[in-house]
Copies of this chain bind each other. A is one copy, B any other.
Amino acid sequence: MADTSADVVIVGGGLIGLATAWRLARDGVRVVVADPTPGEQTSSVAAGMLAPVTEVEYGEDDLLALNLAGVAAWPAFAADLEHATGLPSGLYASGTLSVAYDADDAAAIRRLAEYQRRLGLDVVELTGREARKREPLLAVGVSAGMWVPNDHSVDNRRAVTALLAATEAAGVQLVRRTVARVVVDGQRASGIELAGGEVIRAETVVVAAGPWSAQIDGIPDELRPPVRPLKGEILRLRVPEAYRPALQHTVRATARGFAVYLVPRPDGELVVGATSTELGYDTRVLAGGVFSLLRDARMVLPITDELELVEAVAGLRPTTPDNAPILGPAGIDGLLWATGHYRNGVLLSPITAGLIAQTVLTGTVPDLAKPFLAERFRTAPRAS
């Protein structure tokens, strides 16, 4: 490939990079996405929960606002995607049932429900019997529940497939190559260099490289974002026809203190996740991870034993010190971050795409993105 140029080059073709590329291309921007294996890393491993309510953490108000905007953005994004491609977006507006196993588990979800109601979130507390009415195959040991009507899920692999088609149709150029470095001339980023030496010049470089975002050559060390990989294993099970649907809603459980989720797909897949391990870039599936997922899943859904184990796979969540993403200007001209989405990459793809596109097009960071600038992690500059 000869040296080429674009308005925007995006490093990373996962859901965040692809959604951003698609948004920009529809606004008339010439976009190149560079990724040797688009959609095949973190974006292919997720369960795809849209769970701002059930995943709310004490004291993360800015992140909650972003996540709620994320789930609100999905229906229109999914409709556009399906309209543009004729492919399913993967969105499944199923609602989520949180359940507890023993008395300690029940106390924990009751405390969380109280906090959620204080935040004005829509949750309905249930007895164990009421929970089983919504999901009849839950274990008789399920002692309490909470119905969260607005937490849904997206089949992340279908979303990747649709976004690859949509970006192509919108004229995005997908370069299936490794990025060697970001080209920085003086105080501005001016493109990327591919492994092999070809350069793609661009006005703006967006780094959406997930857990690898801090590893890219060329970026000045003091600007590298504090993004690290956090390994997670998930299982993909298949529900035989005779038992379908094993579940109709996302089920999140606290089972003897362990958290597990079971995300059903309309096609009979059931995703069980997820472990959480600090092991660098290791993506081996460990026996202990698979064991713990199965142990917890079968405790709340005994029929798990009868489901086919189709795949066990590990991915790397791009994680930051405050569990919130890093969005917008990187600190030198022409370089933007769209990374660090941790467990919320699927959820935040549409909203991040919109926020980054707006930043590129207007040169101004939207208010919703301001709490997530990289500069929040920067220590004061030393006196020279």
Contact = CB atoms under 8 A, between A and B. Distances in A.
B312 A286 contact: no
A291 B297 CA distance: 11
Contact of A290 (B238, B284, B306, B309): B309
Given A309-B312, A312-B309, A237 B295 contact: no
A294 B290 contact: yes
A30 to B, nearest CB: 43
A14 B368 CA distance: 64
Nearest to A270: B287
Nearest to A302: B288
A122 interface: no
Contacts of A235: 287
A85 to B, nearest CB: 32
Nearest to A305: B288
A288 B298 contact: yes
A290 B290 contact: yes
A304 interface: yes
A291 B287 contact: no
Contacts of A307: 286-287
A114 interface: no
A306 to B, nearest CB: 6
Contacts of A291: 291, 294-295, 298, 305
B304 A288 contact: yes
A305 B289 CA distance: 7
Residue in A287, A298, A305 whose Cβ sees the most chain B Cβ within 10 Å = A287
A283 to B, nearest CB: 10
A308 interface: yes
Interface in A253-308: 284-288, 290-291, 294-295, 297-298, 304-308
Given A287-B298, A288-B298, A290-B309, 20 more contacts: A235-B287, A284-B308, A285-B308, A285-B309, A286-B305, A286-B308, A286-B309, A287-B294, A287-B297, A287-B304, A287-B305, A287-B306, A288-B304, A288-B305, A288-B306, A290-B290, A291-B291, A291-B305, A295-B295, A312-B312
Interface of A: 235, 237-238, 284-288, 290-291, 294-295, 297-298, 304-309, 312
Q: Sorted from nearest, which 4 A-B pairs have the closest CB atoms?
A: A288-B305, A291-B294, A284-B308, A287-B309
